[in-house]
Amino acid sequence: MENDTDFHFNLTMYVNIGFYRYPAFVVSLMLFAIILFANLAIILVVSLERTLHEPMYLFIALLSVNSLYGSTGFFPRFLMDLLSDTHLISRPACFTQIYIIYTYAFQEMTILSIMAYDRYVAVCDPLHYHNKVTAKTVCILAAIAWMCPAFFTGLGLSLAIKLPLCGNKLQKIYCAIWNIAKLSCVSTSTINVVGILASVTNVILPLIYVLYTYFRIILVCRKSSSEFKSKVFQTCLPHTILFVSLSFSIFCDIILSRLNVENLNLRFALILSLEFVLIPPLLKPLIYGLKLPEIQRNIFKMLSCLNFQI
């Protein structure tokens, strides 16, 4: 099958729900609007409030920026497909979507692992916190969080683009490299190796590091006062919830990509696919806005100012 710009992939996981496509579209559009508004609110609050210009809050704002990036790469196309009878996507649009969704997921993991380092130093080595987590360190770590996922995703994508394909049906609701590789007419051993390296670097290593840091934090908390434990719990709980949710989503998506979806309940597979791109962007503003009093207080302050001006 020729690889040209006229070639289209067919996303086969979309379920024909008839009239219910319209309520589904409205609900999805509302969720997209909530994700945009809530994450923009956190970015604005952290940017405008000088008291929040600290590493932990800057990393939270970076997570929100990544949520906007990933959501805008998924939802517009998803909303179009909900109202469409056909679910064809061109090669350029498909590979663009792959790049955005993969870099979003990998960046999410690397940013969360960097936040684990920040919490680890704050709890286990507080006297040297300001020497270790400097503005320069924050900039370097933020650059790494964006550059590593971009490199590995770009490398995998460059290999996927060159594959000669013997089909066009992707068992997904969005494009994915592994599903495209399964359509290849030739061996995909090289792209498999790159995929493994990317998963180890951007998923497995961050997972191991976060588990290590939280193990050390737990050891320190065991010997500390109740007040100290409460403060640590308050700052670490949102990060823990996000990390567990994202790790579960990524591993479900990896497993789902390697299984034959036709042998599964299609609605269950659809829910798992949506969970990956929907839950993390929704969770971040909710848990950080509700669990961290500094952000919560400044969000209410900003909303009060807007109401007063209106």
In three state form, how does the secondary structure of 135-167 look?
Answer: HHHHHHHHHHHHHHHHHHHHHHHHHHHCCCECC
Starting from the edge strand earliest in sequence, which strands make up the sheet with 88-90, in order?
88-90, 8-11, 169-170
Quick one: pLDDT at residue 291? Answer: 60
Q: CA angle, corner 300, sides to 299 and 301, nearest 5?
A: 90
CA distance 200 to 158: 19
The structure tokens 């990036």 sit at: 69
CA distance 34 to 210: 29
| HSE, side-chain direction, 13 A CA sphere, residue 136 | 2
CA distance 211 to 299: 31
> Beta strand pairing status for 8-11 and 169-170?
parallel
Instruction: Compute CA 91 distance to the chain's CA centroid, rounded to the nearest angstrom.
Output: 23
In this predicted structure, the answer to whether residue 235 has a pLDDT above a threshold of 60 is yes
In this predicted structure, the answer to whether residue 81 has a pLDDT above a threshold of 50 is yes
Question: Are the C-beta atoms of residues 246 and 206 closer than 8 Å to each other?
Answer: no
Question: Are the C-beta atoms of residues 43 and 64 closer than 8 Å to each other?
Answer: yes
Query: What tokens appear for 145 in the block?
Result: 């969080």
CA distance 231 to 112: 19
Quick one: pLDDT at residue 68? Answer: 92
Task: Among 152-166, 216-230, 251-265, name the one with the lowest average pLDDT.
Answer: 251-265
* Complete domains list, the chain, with CATH: 8-308 (1.20.1070.10)
* pLDDT, greater one: 294 or 224: 224
Query: What tokens appear for 227 in the block?
Result: 């007040």
Average pLDDT, the chain: 82
Question: Are the C-beta atoms of residues 173 and 81 closer than 8 Å to each other?
Answer: yes
Confidence band (pLDDT; 50, 70, 90) for 3? very low
In this predicted structure, the answer to whether residue 308 has a pLDDT above a threshold of 80 is no
Helix (H) or strand (E) holding 56: helix 55-83
> Beta strand pairing status for 8-11 and 88-90?
antiparallel
| pTM for the full predicted model | 0.86
Query: What tokens appear for 207 in the block?
Result: 């997972």
State the sign of the Cα–Cα–Cα–Cα dihedral 254, 258, 261, 264: negative
Tell me the average pLDDT across 270-288: 79
SS3 at position 134: coil
Tell me the average pLDDT across 84-108: 89
CA distance 169 to 97: 16
CA distance 139 to 55: 10
DSSP state of 204: I
What are 18-29's pLDDT values in tens digits?
777 888 899 989
Quick one: pLDDT at residue 310? Answer: 52
